[in-house]
Amino acid sequence: MDIVERFLNYTKINTTTSRENGAAGIMPSNPAELELAKLIKSELENMGVTDISLSEKSILIAKIPANTDKKVPSVAFFAHLDTSAEQKNDTKAKVVKYEGGDICLNKELEIYLKQSEFSELKNYIGDDIIVTDGTSLLGADDKAAIASIMNAAQYFMQNPQIKHGEIVICFVPDEEQGLRGAKALDVSLLGADFGYCLDCCGIGEFIYENWNAGDAVINFKGQSAHPMNAKGKLVNSLLLAHKFISLLPNGEAPEYTDGKEGYFWVKELSGNSAKTILKLDIREFDEKKYKERMAFLQNLADGLNKIWDNRIEITLTNRYKNVFNYLKDGENSLPIIVAKEAFKNLGITPVILPMRGGYDGSIISEKGVACPNLFTGAHNFHSIYEYLPVKSLRASSEVIKQIITLVSNK
């Protein structure tokens, strides 16, 4: 099956993540994620893959055994089954020949993918591009990854003369709401030495640094009193929360930072004069600086409690870690070296970016399988303007093939 046909088939199954079901602890949050996983399982079986497991939570693990006598690392490739909740409509994907200018996605609704807004379109003049009809996401995040991995699997199953180590394939549900599938994954079932997620954007993008991410929930306890005799009695928890916020460092917020600059994000404030809850996100690339940020919040709360008679309760939790923390040799780690060499062999210029966010590899790496992030080739994730150049999709799968071949020769 051609990779484009494979991808288009996957987009026909609507796997929009359900935040409601996710909040209720249901996995997969959308039953269609299991439907897609079952389709993938049958495709792997038709290829001749025999070592496949699929859990009721829609975690699929398949292994293509090594066909070489050499002892080479086992490499895993990961993607997620769900698509983001921004749009819930069924995907009506189509392939268009891009000749430049704007692309009409939906004439009736006057929806256009405009070159003036998405200047990178100029890079794909003369190429085939997969788009939607403008009423849904395309779902290349992350079905392009699934198609890319499955295309590579088909290649090695059809060409047993090409020597390789063990290839592990893993698809998980509900990445789009807190990396839930990766958190539920038992990595001991993989047996992989390292792996790669495919969950980033344009051709050449390669990510092996992301946030160390934490959460703070801070409860402020006030003292109610009627305003007619409130003097000396009323303690307004809303004002306590505002005072706390005012003591955060100036300029260290998402709207003032980029690159590897960390921040505190005042994300939610709710309550009344008696009780107020403040929620913060803490983000930092450097692990030491991340710990310092968490300690700053704890020390701030402790100091104010001495003044305010213990009216603050603070809970600090880690959400996910920077993948780079788990690459033992840093820039010289085998997963990084091999990926860069694969790019070079294919004439692809690496675009190495720090991810100001997290992905499944953040959790999988912390569990013991270091997992950088490779491109799928798509653009405009989480948007009706999401699109996927066909050449980029094919290049994504070629990178996987190169990595597997290179690892077998190390």
Q: Where are the beta strands (DSSP E) in 235-394?
A: 263-271, 275-284, 312-320, 351-355, 373-375, 388-389
Answer yes or no: do 35 and 78 share one domain: yes
Lowest mean pLDDT among 8-22, 212-226, 290-304: 212-226
Answer yes or no: do 142 and 281 share one domain: no
Binding residue per annotation — 252? no
pTM of the model: 0.93
Answer yes or no: do 89 and 76 share one domain: yes
Report whether the peptide linkage leading into residue 142 is cis, meaning its omega lies within 30 degrees of zero.
yes
Answer yes or no: do 58 and 194 share one domain: yes
CATH value at residue 271: 3.30.70.360
Answer yes or no: do 203 and 351 share one domain: yes
Binding residue per annotation — 133? no
Answer yes or no: do 51 and 140 share one domain: yes
Answer yes or no: do 196 and 288 share one domain: no
Domain final position from 296, 319, 342: 319
Nearest to 380 by CA among 369, 370, 388, 368: 388
Q: Where are the beta strands (DSSP E) in 123-229?
A: 128-131, 167-172, 194-200, 205-210, 212-221
Binding residue per annotation — 166? no
Binding residue per annotation — 164? no
Q: Which domain holds residue 177?
A: 3-209+322-408
Domain final position from 266, 296, 319: 319
* Catalytic position from the list 133, 142, 175, 284: 175
Span 192-225, pLDDT tens digits: 999 999 999 999 999 999 999 999 999 999 988 7
Residue 217 phi, psi (nearest 5): -115, 120
Q: Report the domain count for the chain.
A: 2
Give the residue-averaged pLDDT of 124-131. 97
153: confidence class by pLDDT, cuts 50, 70, 90: very high
Give the residue-averaged pLDDT of 66-70. 93
Say yes or no to pLDDT of 230 above 80.
Answer: no
Answer yes or no: do 39 and 93 share one domain: yes
Type of residue found at 52: I
160: confidence class by pLDDT, cuts 50, 70, 90: very high
Span 235-253, pLDDT tens digits: 899 999 999 999 999 999 9
- Is residue 284 part of the annotated active site? The answer reads no
Answer yes or no: do 34 and 86 share one domain: yes
Binding residue per annotation — 20? no
- Is residue 186 part of the annotated active site? The answer reads no
Answer yes or no: do 190 and 278 share one domain: no
Burial category of 38 from C-beta neighbours within 10 Å (exposed 0-12, middle 13-18, buried 19 and up) = middle
Q: What pLDDT score was predicted for residue 367?
A: 96
Q: What pLDDT score was predicted for residue 226?
A: 77
Answer yes or no: do 181 and 224 share one domain: no
Domain final position from 319, 337, 361: 319
Q: What pLDDT score was predicted for residue 279?
A: 98
Pair 370, 339: CB distance under 8 Å: no
Q: What pLDDT score was predicted for residue 187?
A: 96
Answer yes or no: do 292 and 351 share one domain: no
Give the residue-averaged pLDDT of 351-377. 96
Helices then strands, each counted (H, E), the chain: 10, 17
CATH value at residue 13: 3.40.630.10
